[in-house]
Amino acid sequence: MKSLWDNVKVQFFYQWKAKYIITLFMFLVILCSFSSYSQYNSLHLKEARFNSSMEMYEKDGITLKQALSEELEIKTDGNSEEISNILKYDYYRVIAAKVALNPLNAPNQIFTSIAILFLPIIFGIYSCHVAFFDFKHKTIKNQLLLKGYKNLFFSKFFSIIIMAIGVVLVTTLLSIVIQYLFNLFVGVQANTSVNYLKEVPLQFLYQSVVLILFGVFFFLLTTAVRSTLVSIIALFLYMLLVPNLGGFDLKNLMLLTVSKIYNTSAATMDVVAGEDTNLILGYVATIGVWILLIVLVYKIDKKRSCPRL
pLDDT tens for each residue of the chain, 309 residues long? 567 788 888 899 999 998 999 999 999 999 999 988 988 888 888 888 888 888 888 887 888 888 778 777 777 665 566 677 787 888 888 888 888 888 888 888 888 888 888 899 999 999 999 999 888 888 888 888 888 888 889 999 999 999 999 999 999 999 999 998 998 888 777 666 666 677 788 888 899 999 999 999 999 999 999 999 999 999 999 988 888 777 888 888 888 888 788 877 666 666 666 678 888 898 999 899 999 999 999 999 898 888 764
* End-to-end Cα spacing for the chain: 28
Give residue 26's pLDDT.
95
- 281 and 262 Cβ atoms separated by less than 8 Å: no
Domain span holding position 213 = 2-34+105-305
Spatial distance between the Cα atoms of 296 and 304, rounded to a whole number of angstroms: 12
Does residue 210 fall inside a structural domain?
A: yes
Does residue 39 fall inside a structural domain?
A: no
Does residue 161 fall inside a structural domain?
A: yes
- 112 and 263 Cβ atoms separated by less than 8 Å: yes
Domain count, the chain: 1
Give residue 161's pLDDT.
95
Does residue 52 fall inside a structural domain?
A: no
Residue 76 phi/psi, 5-degree rounding, is -105, 140
Predicted TM-score (pTM) of the model is: 0.87
Does residue 165 fall inside a structural domain?
A: yes
Give residue 61's pLDDT.
80
The number of angstroms, rounded, from the C-alpha of 238 to the middle of its chain's C-alpha atoms is: 15
Does residue 225 fall inside a structural domain?
A: yes
Give residue 194's pLDDT.
67
Does residue 112 fall inside a structural domain?
A: yes
Spatial distance between the Cα atoms of 172 and 207, rounded to a whole number of angstroms: 10
Does residue 177 fall inside a structural domain?
A: yes
Strand positions, DSSP E, the chain = 74-77, 80-83
Give residue 218's pLDDT.
95
- Which among 108, 78, 64, 92 is positioned nearest to 199, based on CA atoms? 108
Give residue 195's pLDDT.
62
Spatial distance between the Cα atoms of 205 and 214, rounded to a whole number of angstroms: 15
